[in-house]
Chain A
Amino acid sequence: MTAASSLTGVPKFTQHKDLVIPTLSILNHDGLLRKGLEMPALSQSMAQKIYRDMVYIRTLDQRMIAAQRQGRLSFYLSCTGEEAAVVGSIAGFSNKDMVMSQYREQAALRFRGFTSKQFMNQLLSNDLDLGKGRQMPIHYGSSKLNYMTISSTLATQIPQAAGYAYGQKLSGNKTCTVCYFGDGAASEGDFHAGLNMAAVTNCPVVFIVRNNGYAISTPTSEQFLGDGIAPRGVGYGISAIRVDGNDALAVYTASVAARKLALENNQPVILETMSYRLGAHSTSDDPSSYRSVSEEKSWHDKDPIVRMKTWLISNGWWSEDKDNQLITAYRKEILEALKAQEKRPPPSINCLISDVYKTPPTHLLEQFSELQKHIKQYPDHYLQCSTSDKGVSLPASIDV
């Protein structure tokens, strides 16, 4: 028996139904405060920023999906439907907190100040891409914005976030780590490893699991049996909370409280946002083959952006006019950025071998030298790199 357990003479099994976590909800579907609830502590400027960033990401997603269909980028992955879950949560943290995310949280990066041009640089793998043209579109990262570069491997960031937070705790700088992932990623071994490591080492990390109904085509009913993901946190000794992910106010309120708990007690927290991936998984799949139109419609009716807008307007903090102006301005900004940044050259060919190690080892330099000779021999075959020699320079020791 454990320290907290009591003795019983009856062979009684505990069911998963015995631990059902309630869902925090502040705005109802019509965008009004639920009866009996007070308005959360949220300033007008913060509320407007949250809304603007939600609208920005919706606009960016729409524009980039179109650009992908036009062949201007190879791949894209949208946040559509989950804008409140992402912007509402990141708004509850300090910009000094580290973000370690999956790949559907570009709204958090926008919240931190990532510009349209920076999005385009990554999506187009041009010479200004902070990732030097090495990863597929949507794998953003910015050390300046404390946003860890995304990797395609699911859930690997979960134990890493625990370790990062442990380092933050030791440094005493009163920051924490925010770790995003999806309901599907929570089936990976790294989820369990990471939560357990975070719990036993008392790390100030907030795990935010976006429960959006699908992992590519697999519905959550085929992903897990229990009551979502949050109760698993309880099993690891981690405080857990669930929120309506389409309710920006609820998400924000829960996130502020989660951060406080994590930092004041040096403990991990898990926050589950219940929402729906309104778009396809990525530009490489078609949801009509695995879910019904009526199901999608029921979630379009709960659109988090419409809900937030209704609340802002009812509060006197927004208007339809402002809304139209905002969307027009964002469309223009994004289109201009796309047009400008797609004209930029690719990164330097040196980026093929730099950063594998801090300093390229001899064998790699020799391989690169052979490649360069080969490229010179076939300039027409390798047009891209023969027309670009700008970009990141290698250390002076490299003479190739």
Chain B
Amino acid sequence: MTKMNLLEAVNSALDTAMEVDNRVICLGEDIGQFGGVFRATSRLQEKYGKQRCFNTPITEQGIVGFSIGLAAQGSVPIAEIQFADYIFPAFDQIVNEAAKFRYRSGDQFDCGGLTIRAPYGGGISGGLYHSQSPEAYFCHTPGLKVVIPSTAYQAKGLLLSAIRDPDPVIFFEPKAIYRAEIGDVPTEDYEIPLGVAEIISEGTDITILGWGAQMRQINRAVAIAKKDGISCEVIDLRSLLPWDIETVTNSVNKTGRLIVTHEAPRTGGFSGEIAATIQENCFLALESPIMRVTGLDTPFPLIFEKEYLPDYTKVYEAIKKSVSF
């Protein structure tokens, strides 16, 4: 075990993956010698050479298209999209190509070796184009897997699973907590299974569900609620597609209440999908309406970022509202 921040854990996962499998290739904008704008790929080119870790031109559709071909050939590409906000030029390659590659060929070809990494989320004064949380767009696409870690330990274990998963995975990294989130991380190789949520703390009164950077807001809100005598069960979803319906269902059947929170705008956000599924599964157990604490239905703001974000104060208020319904 070593103390690492989330960014170092990502770097450690990439290093481990490249070391044990020489088919693993990292590519993206500025990821070579420079190590990426956040330094997630630091020292990888030095260690594994320019053929396996290299800069690409500024073309997200080119990076993803190239990586799909590389994966179909049998390599294991890890493509970095510099900011999740810039993933949209690659939307067609991801949604129409990567997601459908195996299906449309009758399993003659696949690009399962593909992993796309992208830092996402607000909290860094990034305005419209360095702050977005686009996970819901991809969760609407059968054939993809979508994963978001919230801790350094999760980041390494989930990323190693994503790289080795037989299906294409989009791995969104919470950049606001890249350095703030520090924890014990094994230096050796380990995997955390995809599609399985983690119960962070058990409770009896209400279930609070989130992922990524939002977990810090949840934990803070829950600590305040505890002083009010409210016992919260906190679940970190970790994988959004497929998501762990069973764990959330069991929890809500026990607590009777659910709050789902994410930074992305509310309308069409992934919390809506979760709320719909849980009311189908837990209708008779529910004591209050399932609540969503989310960003507003606006583009991501700059000067009013604090007001926009669903921080711990908003989560705490939602907890009070739900338990007193």
Q: Count B interface residues, CB 8 Å.
A: 47
- Known A-B contacts A170-B51, A197-B57; the reply to A159 vs B62 at CB < 8 A is yes
B109 touches A163 (CB 8 A): no
Q: Does B299 sit within 8 A of A, measured CB to CB?
A: no
Say yes or no: A167-B73 contact (C-beta < 8 A), given A156-B96, A197-B59.
yes
Tell me if B105 and A149 are in contact (CB < 8 A).
yes
Q: Chain A residues with Cβ under 8 A from B69's Cβ?
A: 100, 159-167, 177
Given contacts A131-B106, A361-B195, A362-B242, contact A153 B96 (CB under 8 A): yes
Do B104 and A151 touch across chains, with their CB atoms under 8 A apart?
Answer: yes
Q: Is B289 an interface residue (CB 8 A)?
A: no
Q: Which residues of A contact B102 (CB under 8 A)?
A: 355-358
Tell whether, in the assembled complex, residue A356 and residue B103 are in contact, meaning their CB atoms are under 8 Å apart: yes
Enumerate chain B residues within 8 angstroms of A190, measured Cβ to Cβ: 61-62, 65, 92-93
Q: Please, which residues of chain A bring their CB within 8 A of the CB of B54?
A: 201
Q: Please tell me if B70 contacts chain A, counting CB pairs below 8 Å.
A: yes
Which residues of A have CB within 8 Å of B61? 159, 189-190, 193
- Shortest distance between the CB of A200 and any CB in chain B (Å): 6
Complex CA distance for A153 and B97, rounded to whole angstroms: 8
- B100 partner, pick from A151, A160, A364, beta carbons under 8 A: A151
Shortest Cβ distance from B246 into A: residue: A362
Q: Which of A4-12, A132-140, A220-228, A313-321 contacts B (4 or more CB under 8 A)?
A: A132-140
Our pick among B66, B70, B104, B167 for the contact of A139 (Cβ within 8 Å) is: B104
Q: Considering the chains assembled together, what is the distance between the CA atoms of A160 and B66 in angstroms?
A: 4
The reply to whether A166 and B93 contact each other, CB–CB distance below 8 Å, is no
Alpha-carbon distance A364/B100, docked complex (angstroms): 15
CB distance from A299 to the nearest CB of B (A): 33
| Smallest CB gap from A167: residue in B | B73
Given A151-B100, A200-B57, check contact A357 B143 (CB 8 Å): yes
Q: Find the A residue at minimum CB distance from B77.
A: A163
Q: Is the CB of A163 within 8 A of B70?
A: yes
Q: Is B298 an interface residue (CB 8 A)?
A: no
A142–B62 alpha-carbon span in the complex (Å): 25
Q: Is B142 an interface residue (CB 8 A)?
A: yes
Q: Bound state CA distance, A194 and B96, in angstroms? A: 17
Write out the residue numbers on chain A whose beta carbons fall within 8 Å of the beta carbon of B100: 151
A21 within 8 A of B: no
Bound CA span A153–B54, Å: 28
Cβ of A241 within 8 Å of any chain B Cβ, yes or no, is: no
Nearest CB in chain A to that of B111: its residue: A160
B245 touches A363 (CB 8 A): yes
Write the chain A residue with the least CB distance to B71: A163
Q: Decide: B68 and A160 in contact? CB cutoff 8 A.
A: yes
Instruction: Give the contacts of B122-167 with A (CB-CB under 8 A).
Output: 142-143, 145, 166-167
Q: Is A196 on the interface with B (CB-CB < 8 A)?
A: yes
**A163 contacts B104, CB within 8 Å?**
no
Verify if A148 is at the interface (C-beta below 8 Å from B).
Answer: yes
* Interface residue? A354 (CB, 8 A): yes
In this complex, the member of A142, A167, A363 whose beta carbon has the largest number of chain B beta carbons within 10 angstroms is: A167
Measured CB to CB, the closest approach of chain A to B100, in angstroms, equals 7
Interface residues of A in 98-130 (CB under 8 A from B): 98, 100, 129-130
User: CB-CB < 8 A to A357: which residues of B?
Assistant: 102, 143, 145, 166-167
A305–B197 Cα distance when bound, in Å, is 62
B87 within 8 A of A: no
> Is A255 among interface residues, defined by CB-CB distance under 8 A?
no
Does the CB pair A163–B65 fall under 8 Å? yes
Residues of B within 8 A of A354 (CB): 107
Other-chain contact of B103, A98, A189, A355, A359 (Cβ < 8 Å): A355
On whether the beta carbons of A163 and B66 are closer than 8 Å, the reply is yes
Tell me if B112 is interfacial: C-beta within 8 Å of chain A: yes
Find the A residue at minimum CB distance from B96.
Answer: A153
Decide yes or no whether A230 CB sits under 8 A from chain B: no
Known: A153-B92, A362-B242. A130 touches B68 (CB 8 A): no
Partner of A156, one of B65, B89, B167: B65
Which residues of chain B have C-beta atoms less than 8 A from A356's C-beta? 102-103, 142-143
Kindly provide the distance from the CB of A266 to the nearest chain B CB, expressed in whole angstroms. 11
The answer to whether A143 has its CB under 8 Å from any CB of chain B is: yes
B242 and A361 within 8 A (CB): yes
State A165–B93 Cα separation when bound (angstroms): 18
Residues of chain B lying within 8 A (CB to CB) of residue A139: 104
Tell whether A197 pairs with B56 under 8 Å between CB atoms, given A153-B96, A160-B66: yes
Which of A164, A200, A357, A359 gathers the greatest number of chain B CB atoms within 10 Å?
A357
Does A206 interact with chain B (Cβ within 8 Å)?
no
Check A308 for interface membership: any CB of B closer than 8 A.
no
CB neighbors of A among B208-250 (8 A): 242, 245-246
Contact A151 B74 (CB under 8 A): no
For A354, the closest partner residue in chain B by CB is B107
**Residue A168 at the chain B interface, CB threshold 8 Å:** yes
Which one of B51, B68, B195 lies within 8 Å of A163 (CB-CB)?
Answer: B68
The reply to whether the CB of B207 lies closer than 8 angstroms to some CB of chain A is no
CB pair B105–A141 under 8 Å, yes or no, is yes
Chain B, Cβ-Cβ closest to A134: B104
Complex-state Cα separation, A161 to B57, whole angstroms: 16
Distance between A270 CB and nearest chain B CB, rounded to angstroms: 16
Give A186 to B105 CA distance when docked, in angstroms.
24
Q: Could you tell me if B110 and A149 are in contact, using CB atoms closer than 8 angstroms?
A: no
CA distance A196 to B142 in the complex (A): 30
A57 interfacial by beta-carbon distance below 8 Å: no
Given A163-B71, A193-B65, 14 additional A-B pairs, CB 8 A: A130-B108, A132-B106, A139-B104, A141-B106, A151-B96, A159-B66, A160-B69, A160-B72, A190-B93, A193-B59, A356-B102, A358-B166, A361-B195, A392-B106
Q: List 7 A-B contacts (CB under 8 A).
A: A153-B96, A159-B61, A159-B68, A162-B62, A167-B74, A190-B93, A197-B63
CB-CB nearest 8 A-B residue pairs = A159-B65, A163-B69, A193-B62, A167-B73, A160-B69, A149-B105, A163-B66, A358-B166
